[in-house]
């Protein structure tokens, strides 16, 4: 039996997240400029998004630019800021064919007007689609996301819309960008680094973690299937005891 049919016959995670890491090292290994790695990474994002949709995954959250990535050289930041436009223009036709919805999570106050308008436009245009939801985390940081949720709830308390005793975990979750998405089943990080780098800290509570040495541009559909196969062989207990099979 092929790996794909094996994976398809078992529980398909509803929501997976990927830290798209290793574009720079992928390019360096080939004596290419880092930005070319980002370009190849963007192409790979299209392919993996479509592969996830075909497998029946409901939501894919990808870490494309962190709140800390502004520290990089201006030339690289400028290039990364052009990618949302390139990405949507190049792939919008294929995303439409696959009924893929796109949303963006992250700060909007530091976006250029072009990116700001583009994000609203694509979210609006794709909002009724019923295939996979691609959640592009761009100028995203988990600490910022949680801080904003705290501020919003504090404001609701101050305005007498919420009583302190009513604050609960669901209320916090419903103030995060991921409020509409299913719980996070699996988090993948490419490039061999084994850290979270400020991504989806709240949402990760009971996710399975999968690290691979492959750089993001070389993370193929086969690598995705390997990650899913590995996930399907884990015992998720959520603090309870292993269920008898």
Would you please indicate which residues are annotated as catalytic (active-site) residues? 21, 69
CA dist 93 and 8 (Å) reads 26
Question: How many binding residues for ligand IPE (CB under 6 A)?
Answer: 17
Report whether 119 contacts 84 (CB < 8 A): yes
CB proximity list for 26: less than 8 A, separation 6 or greater: 37, 40, 41, 215, 216, 217, 218
Segment interacting with ligand IPE (CB under 6 A) among 61-69, 157-165, 218-226, 235-243 = 61-69
Q: Confirm or reject binding of residue 22 to ligand IPE (CB under 6 A).
A: yes
Cα 182 to chain centroid distance, Å, stands at 13
Q: Which stretch binds Mg ion (CB under 5 A): 14-22, 88-96, 97-105, 124-132?
A: 14-22
Q: How many Å apart are CA 168 and CA 60, to the nearest integer?
A: 26
208 in contact with Mg ion (CB under 5 A): no
- Residues 6 or more apart whose CB falls under 8 angstroms from that of 58 comprise 14, 15, 132, 133, 181, 182
Round to whole Å and give the CA distance between 234 and 136.
27
For the CB of residue 22, give the shortest distance to Mg ion in the complex, in Å: 6
25 binds ligand IPE (CB under 6 A): yes
Binding test (CB under 6 A) with ligand IPE, winner from 86, 152, 175, 197: 197
Map the footprint of ligand IPE across residues 125-184, applying CB under 6 A. none
Q: Using the rule CB under 5 A, which residue among 7, 21, 58, 62 binds Mg ion?
A: 21
Tell me the sheet residues that pair with 101: 133
Q: Would you say 21 or 139 has its CB closer to Mg ion? A: 21
Of 10 and 195, CB closest to ligand IPE:
195
* Interface contacts to Mg ion, rule CB under 5 A: 21
């Amino acid at each position: 039996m092929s790996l794909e049919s094996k994976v398809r016959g078992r529980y398909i995670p509803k929501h997976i997240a990927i830290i798209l890491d290793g574009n720079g090292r992928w390019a360096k290994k080939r004596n290419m400029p880092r930005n070319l790695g980002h370009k190849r990474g963007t192409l790979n994002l299209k392919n993996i998004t479509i592969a996830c949709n075909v497998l029946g995954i409901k939501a894919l959250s990808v870490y494309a630019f962190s709140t800390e990535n502004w520290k990089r050289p201006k030339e690289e930041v400028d290039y990364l800021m052009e990618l949302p436009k390139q990405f949507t223009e190049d792939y919008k036709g294929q995303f439409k064919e696959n009924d893929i919805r796109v949303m963006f999570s992250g700060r909007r106050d530091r976006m250029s007007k072009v990116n700001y308008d583009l994000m609203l436009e694509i979210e609006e245009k794709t909002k009724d689609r019923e295939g996979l939801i691609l959640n592009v985390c761009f100028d995203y940081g988990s600490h910022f996301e949680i801080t904003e949720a705290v501020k919003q709830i504090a404001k609701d308390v101050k305005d007498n819309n919420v009583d302190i005793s009513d604050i609960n975990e669901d209320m916090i979750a419903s103030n995060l960008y991921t409020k509409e998405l299913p719980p996070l089943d699996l988090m993948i990080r490419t490039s061999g680094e084994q850290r979270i780098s400020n991504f989806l800290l709240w949402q990760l509570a009971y996710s399975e973690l999968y690290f691979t040495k492959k750089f993001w541009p070389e993370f193929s559909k086969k690598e995705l299937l390997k990650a899913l196969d590995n996930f399907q062989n884990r015992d998720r207990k959520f603090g309870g005891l292993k269920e008898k099979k």
